[in-house]
Structures are given as C-alpha cells and as structure tokens.
Structure 1
Amino acid sequence: MMSVNRLCSPHRQGLTMRPLTICALAISLVTACDEPTRPAMTPHLPKAPGLALIVAPPIDLGTLGGSFSTALAINALGQVVGYSAIASNLQGHAFMWRSGTGMTDLGTLGGTFSQAVAVNALGQVVGNIALASGFTHGFSWQSGQGMVDIGTLGGAATQARAINVLGQVVGSSNRGSDQQTHAFLWRAGTGMTDLGTLGGSTSDAFAVNELGQVVGSSTMPGDLQRHAFLWRSGTGMIDLGTLGGTNSGAVAINALGQVVGNSYTASGEDHAFSWQAATGMTDLGTLGGVSSQARGVNALGQVIGKARIPIGGEHAFLWQSGAPMIDIGTLGYLSDAWAVNDLGQVVGYSVTTAEEGHAFLWEKTTGMTDLGTLGSDYSAALAINDRGQIVGEAGNATGVLIVHAVLWNTLNPPTPAEQVATLTDLVNRLAAAGTLNQGQANALLAKLEAVTRHLNKGDKKSAANLLQAFINQVRALVNAGIVSAADGQTLIDAAQKLIDELSA
C-alpha cells in the first residue's frame, strides 16, 4: 500500500543504488470496489477488533545470513516482503517471508542488491534491483516464475514503487538520454506505458489503486513548479492543482478515487491534502503548527501522517471528512504514522519517555500501544494488513544496534467465516482480472458458499471436505493453464490453513 515512505524509515541500515535513489514510497493498496466495466468484486472488511486487543511480542523474522533485515510490506495472507543482508554483508537481497517456510531469498538479476517494496493480495512482489552495470531497474516476482526485469522507458534506470491486485506496477523511469524521468505503468504481457507529464520534463508515480488509477507528481511547463496528478486510462493525466502555493504531490489513492498528498499553501506552508473529483483539493490543516504531511489513506477515507504541534515537534494524526485532524498522541514525545488499514488501525514510530524509538499501534478505542522491541531501544512499524498483522524492523540486544525484520500479531485471529470471506475475495479478484470466466468463478464461489452454510450449522467436517474439493478444483484450473501456479498456490494455502484449523 502507500501508506508510507517506508524505505526512508526512522532508522535505516543497508545499501544505496544509483542513479535513481532507492528511497521510494511503498504504497499500501486498498480493497477493490465495483466497477461497471468489470465483473463485480466483493470487498471484505474483517471484523473490527474488540476493546481488549492484545499484541503478541515481536517475532524476529531473521535474515538471509547477514546481520540485518527489514520488512516493508505485508498482504492479507500474511506474506511479508522486504530486504536482508546475505552472509557476506556485502549484498542485500529482496525476500518473502511466510509462516511455516520462513524467509526466501528472491535473488537478483546479476547485480549485488535487490529490495522488495510491495506485495499484492495474490503474492506478486514488486521491488528494485541493482544491475551489474550499477543502474537500478524495477522487478516483478511471482512464485514459480521468479524475478522479471520490468525494463525502462528507453533510459538506463527505473524505480518501481507499487503494485495493485491486477499486477499493474507503477513508478518512474529514465527516458532516452537519461535527461528526463517519466511516470510509468507496467503489466506483464503489455509492458511499460509512459504516463507523460503535465507539460514539464519529469513525472513520478507513487501509487495505483485496484482500478488502475495512478497518482504522483509532475513538473509543469518550464519545470519551475511541480503539481500532483491523477492518471486514468482513456483520459490520461490531470492536474490536481495546489492549496494556493507553487508545488504539490500525491502519495496515495484508495479504491474510491480519493487522493491524498501534500501541497504548499499561499503562505508557503506545507500542508496535507485530500482530493476528490466532486470537491477538489481539501486542506487537512495541522495540529496547531505550521506543517502537516499525509502518508496514506484507507478504504474508509481515513488519512494518516504527521503534523507540527504548537510547541514544536511532530505528532501522528488521523483525519476523516467531516471532522478536524486528530492528534493520536505519542509514547512520550514525538510520533509519526506510517500506515493505516481498513479497520482504522494506525501504526508507526514514537519516541518514549525514556527517549527510545518504539513502534506503536493506535486504535480509536484503546489509544496508542507500545509494540516493544527485540531487546534494544529501537523498533518501527511500517505496514499493517486488515488482520491486524504488523511488520517493520527492530533492534536486538547485541549491544551494537542490529536491525531485523519483525512481525507483530494482534491476538484476534481471523474466524473461519473471515477466512472463507478472504478466499471469496481472492476468487472475485481473479474473475475481475479476467483470469477466471464467470462459470469457473461461480463454481469456486458455490463451494465456498456451501462451506459457510456448514460452518453456520457447526458441521466442521463437511466444511473441511468442501474446502478439499475447492483445492482439487483450483489444482485442475492450474493444470489446465487457466490459473497461474502462483495464484493457485495462494488459494490452496489459504484453504489448507482453514482445513487444518477445522480438523484440529
């Protein structure tokens, strides 16, 4: 999702790449909604957590043999991606971590560095690699297919920043002589599309929603100003304007087309904004200080980020239409929000009263919870899924701060009904992408509906048998070449997990 500039987190160890900076926005995507030109999708928002939410201690996800790692994104199935040093500590590689199998090295394409920045609901990973030439290219990775270089717009370097459930990747790429950088949209089979500019020479894409709508920023004619843009297939790039100042930039978009970002005001202050087609750009204000910065937006239109307070320093905020910006507090002093899920749970980083930097989870009913560390004085939460699973990084207790990727689980495991709803959503997404025709999708959905009926009757054995039939049908679709091995495995893993729970 985009929820954040996760690659520039509060503490960063690792390698850098050229000529495009490796610091980029990794966008947290939101649940898809209905669109008239596509088969209907079924959004699923998991049950809101109760008042007595408990968060388990952080789980150290380890490394690929080196001394450090960090987790940047997590999808609805709990698949975690990021990057880690390998044994020599001279290279960093992208990884995917899954419960039961641990951390998998996604490799490189001949260079020394790779970094995964986002993962969609089907387990497709996007990130960036350093080639042997030293230039940066974006990559797409799927189980069974491996890593694919997504290429460039004719120049030497590309930076991938986000991916949606349709496998559309966005970012920026050098063109021709490398004097210009343009926003792009890439998809397997069709390649890279240049999204153009607003009249200037450069543009950058930072987020894409499930309808393929892209947001970012572009220079204006003369290249003296930069404005936020929204790009749609068929209509191209439109200027979202500013809050009265010279520059603006969009960083995230939800499935309803609500865009958030940051803009200078007429007085020169930097303020967070929300933009909608019907109302245009809205100034989200501040917490009494001179500036605010939006980082992400969820399916409910809740915006998170950080803002200056009157006495100086910055606090994390949450904003929703119809209400003023809310200061969600701190663990002692400063705070910064990095991601929000569709339940309104916010995660980020705060300085404690002991002047340590700790990850936090905030909820409206419980306030801010310190997520703790691995034994040192540092942790940061960078992403959260709709099951309340949180990922980020934390220092361990070795004496020298060594950062490892970590996972926090809220002790509200999904119910069987919620797991069936997740499977239903995944099938609907495959139908929306054109992978399944209506008959194939309906056959799978009918089995899931029958599973729900048996679960409502308390008949776990029959529900498990139907889930096994669902798995068999998915395997048949994979063997027929209709569903990819990667997408099929995602469905099979989710169904098998529920079978195991029902059979326990």
Structure 2
Amino acid sequence: MKTLHSAPALALLACLASGSVAAQTHYRVEELGSLDGNNARGNSINDFGVVAGYSTVADNSVRHATAWFFGRTLDLGTLGDPATSNSTVPWPVKALGGPIVGISQTDAPDPNNELWSCFFFFSGPHAANGKACRGFAWERGKLRPLEPLPGGTHSFAAGANNIGEIVGWAENGTVDDSCVAPQKLQFKPVVWGPGRRPVRALPLPEGDTSGAATAINDRGQIVGISGICDMAVGRYSAAHAVLWDRGRTITLGGFDAPYWNTPNAINRNGDVVGFMGTPDDPDGNRLRAFIWMHGAAQVQMIAPLPGDAYASAQGINDARQVVGTSCKEGAVDCRAFLWENGITRDISRQAGYAGVLTSAQDINNTGAITGRAVDAAGVRKAFLGVPLP
C-alpha cells in the first residue's frame, strides 16, 4: 500500500515520534461507511489510521475486503466474480508501507471440494461455493493471489510487515488421515515475500504435522499454531502456540488444554496476544484471552468482563494495550474491552454514541481502535474509536 501524506497522518507520526502513548478508556466513536450492506467490521488499524476489514454488498449475498482511510470507503475487490465471491481482511495487519493482506474466493474449482479455513470467515449463500480460496496481497490498487505449497489448492494470508513479508498458511499435496472431512490435505505455516519471493514453509514442533502463521512484526518474529490437520481452522490444529524467532521454533508455555491455543497479534517488542482453550471444552465454547510478554516463561490469562463466559484478545500495540471481545454464554454480539496494566475495562458504551461496541479487533500506537459496533437501529457497522484525553 502506498504511503499516504496528510495533516492527520503527520500528526499521528509526530505523536509516535514523541514516544507518548497515554492510557485511554474513553473514545470518540465514528461509524465507518459500508458497501451498501448491513454487516461490516474493522479488523486492522495501522498507525496512519488506515482501517481494513470487510463489508457486505447491497444484497448482503457476499462480503468484500474493505479499507477505510481519510473519509473514503474502498472496496478492495475479489479474486473471483465479485457477485459470487467473498473476500475479507480477517486479521490485524499493521503494515504502513507493506501490503494489505487477506483471503478471497477465486473462480477456479476446488478438486477436493474442501471447506478450507476461508469458509469460516465468509458469509451468505456463496460461502461454500466449491471454489479455491487464496490469500491475497493488495498493492497499488490491485489484488495479487498468493500461491499454495506444491500440490495444494488453498492458501490463507493473515499478516504482513513493512519489509513486505506476508505470513499465513497453505496446503501441500499430502493427504492426511487426521484431517476432518471435507478437509483432505495438510497445511503448513508459510511466508511469502519480500516482493515476489515464493512461498516457503516454516518448521513445526516435533510430532506436529500441520500449522498456521497468524502474525508477523518488523523484526521478523512470527507467531502461529501447530498440531494436526483436524478442521484446518483451529481446535487440534492449534494444540500449540508457536513463536518463530531468528531461526528458532519456540513453543509457548502455560496452556492447559491441547486445543484452540491461537495467537492473534504480535507487537514490535515481541508481546503476543490471542485466545486459549479450556480443559474439557474441545468445542471452543469457553475460550480465554491471553497475553504472553516477550521472554516470559508462561502466558498470562486475561479474564473476561464480569458476568461473561469467554473472551479473546484480538490486538496489541507497542505500549502493551490490548483490545478484544468478551461474551456471555451463547451470546451473538458481545462487549469490547481494553486491557492494560493488568486491568480489563469494558469500553462497549461510549458517551456521545448511541450504539454498542461489540468487538474491538485492533489497536494502533496512538491508542485508536477498530472493530464492530451495533448502531441504535441494530445494524452492524465497522467503527473507528479515537481516544479522548
């Protein structure tokens, strides 16, 4: 994505240069535009204030990857027929000078008719359309597909850094009996780039056969999951949370369930946040948020908000401010939270905003957040929350 210069961007850079990021719990909330549908969410915000995520189109039949910056709402498009193909930016990306990355359906048929990981991030009647799904990089106004490993059909792009390295996961050609139907092929954590450097797999902990990379920072530290093939979207695929750092494969400690242990984000200091499984709950109905502070022996749990049953930490900035989502048992829409200095705060209700912030997906180094809000009329909107002094 090309660098954007404006007074707001320069002000943000000045704030970063000063090194002052104040703790904030109150926000001025702005609803972001949609692609004429009634379901949108911001999943990523960088230090220029560029938000990325998705919005459904006018008939809500598909969702398209969307970027919001300086008052504009931009449809990033799809790798297939835009009328029948879903796309999204599902993870915090952070990159200022690097690409926006995500996933999209293509027009190419899937010979194995798998659901693949993408299905769980799409919606509408075309979510399972029998087509191959690929990770993409959006640069200079165009989507570039990211290839799978040799023999595989699908890929998934989750994170990128300012060097142009992209991380995610990709199938290879190995049929694996541990895969849960309709999944058939193994998948590995992978890196694409910088530039056109081809896809390459990361090593897995001993005994594991499949895995995924979910985030990367500018130091080249990568986090993700490893385990067995399973459903290709978590559970026993996430038996271990993993950090790849300077050629080492490090299994993070402190998890007490062999499933759903998933890092979502890593900051420039190497701090990691995500969600972890609960013993005796392989279905993932009671996930717990965690933070792993770089160099710590074990992860630290972030408790859900009072009265809630589960939580997920979605994003973290360099000041170790963490945002996420906290939910009651069986809830559809939940509450956004901010965690800092060991304290979890409910930020779902903000003065001057009539709606509710149901999820906080990412936070940048100025303390600005994005996620999903439900407005006063009950419509799901992407939002930008700017911290107030």
Q: CA deviation at 1:375?
A: 3.9
Within 5 Å, give how 1:143-162 maps onto structure 2: 144-154=140-150, 155-162=152-159
In the alignment, structure 1 residue 91 sits paired with structure 2 residue 104: no
Q: Give the TM-score normalised by structure 2.
A: 0.68
User: What is the match of residue 237 of structure 1?
Assistant: 249
Letter in 1 for 2:222: V
Distance 1:63 1:375, change over 3 A: same
Report if the CA contact (8 A) 1:80-1:97 is conserved.
yes
In the alignment, structure 1 residue 410 sits paired with structure 2 residue 382: no
Q: CA deviation at 1:81?
A: 0.4
User: What is the match of residue 323 of structure 2?
Assistant: 347
User: What is the match of residue 191 of structure 2?
Assistant: 185
CA displacement 1:263-318 (0-9 Å, x = unmatched): 789999998573755x6x3253xxxxxxx4xxxxxxxxxxxx43598xx74487xx
Which deviates the most, 180-189 or 256-265? Answer: 256-265
Within 5 Å, give how 1:47-126 maps onto structure 2: 47-49=20-22, 54-56=26-28, 58-100=29-71, 102-111=72-81, 112-117=85-90, 118-122=93-97, 124-126=99-101
CA displacement 1:336-364 (0-9 Å, x = unmatched): 65433333444344679xx9954455666
Q: Tell me how far apart the structure 1 counterparts of residues 344 and 277 of structure 2 sit (CA, whole Å).
A: 34
Percent same amino acid among aligned pairs? 29
Q: Give the TM-score normalised by structure 1.
A: 0.54
Within 5 Å, give how 1:93-492 maps onto structure 2: 93-100=64-71, 102-111=72-81, 112-117=85-90, 118-122=93-97, 124-132=99-107, 133=109, 134-142=131-139, 144-154=140-150, 155-177=152-174, 178-187=184-193, 188-198=195-205, 199-219=207-227, 226-232=239-245, 235=247, 237-240=249-252, 249=261, 251=263, 252-259=265-272, 272=290, 274=292, 281-282=297-298, 284=300, 292=301, 305-306=302-303, 313-314=308-309, 337-349=313-325, 357-361=334-338, 368-369=346-347, 370-371=349-350, 375-376=354-355, 379-398=358-377, 401-411=378-388
Q: Tell me how far apart the structure 1 counterparts of residues 258 and 361 of structure 2 sit (CA, whole Å).
A: 30
Letter in 2 for 1:157: H
Q: CA deviation at 1:174?
A: 0.9
Report if the CA contact (8 A) 1:250-1:259 is conserved.
no
CA displacement 1:232-280 (0-9 Å, x = unmatched): 45x3534446657656845144434455666789999998573755x6x
CA displacement 1:201-231 (0-9 Å, x = unmatched): 211212222121222222379x999333332
CA displacement 1:419-459 (0-9 Å, x = unmatched): xxxxxxxxxxxxxxxxxxxxxxxxxxxxxxxxxxxxxxxxx
User: What is the match of residue 301 of structure 1?
Assistant: none
Distance 1:372 1:283, change over 3 A: same
Q: Tell me how far apart the structure 2 counterparts of residues 238 and 377 of structure 1 sit (CA, whole Å).
A: 39
How many residue pairs get matched? 319
Q: Tell me how far apart the structure 2 counterparts of residues 379 and 239 of structure 1 sit (CA, whole Å).
A: 32
Report if the CA contact (8 A) 2:33-2:382 is conserved.
yes
Determine which structure has the larger helix proportion and give its number: 1
Letter in 2 for 1:107: G
| Structure showing greater relative contact order (alpha-carbon pairs closer than 8 Å, 6 or more residues apart) | 2
Q: Tell me how far apart the structure 2 counterparts of residues 200 and 75 of structure 1 sit (CA, whole Å).
A: 33
Structure 1 stretches lacking a partner, 5+ long: 1-42, 285-291, 293-304, 317-335, 413-504
Which deviates the most, 116-125 or 243-252? Answer: 243-252
Q: Tell me how far apart the structure 2 counterparts of residues 266 and 246 of structure 1 sit (CA, whole Å).
A: 8
Q: Tell me how far apart the structure 2 counterparts of residues 171 and 213 of structure 1 sit (CA, whole Å).
A: 13
Distance 1:238 1:220, change over 3 A: farther
Structure of larger gyration radius: 1
Within 5 Å, give how 1:32-47 maps onto structure 2: 44=17, 46-47=19-20
Distance 1:246 1:349, change over 3 A: closer
Q: Tell me how far apart the structure 2 counterparts of residues 225 and 162 of structure 1 sit (CA, whole Å).
A: 17
Report if the CA contact (8 A) 1:373-1:379 is conserved.
no
Structure 2 stretches lacking a partner, 5+ long: 1-15, 110-130, 175-183, 230-235
Q: CA deviation at 1:125?
A: 0.4
Q: Tell me how far apart the structure 1 counterparts of residues 338 and 99 of structure 2 sit (CA, whole Å).
A: 27
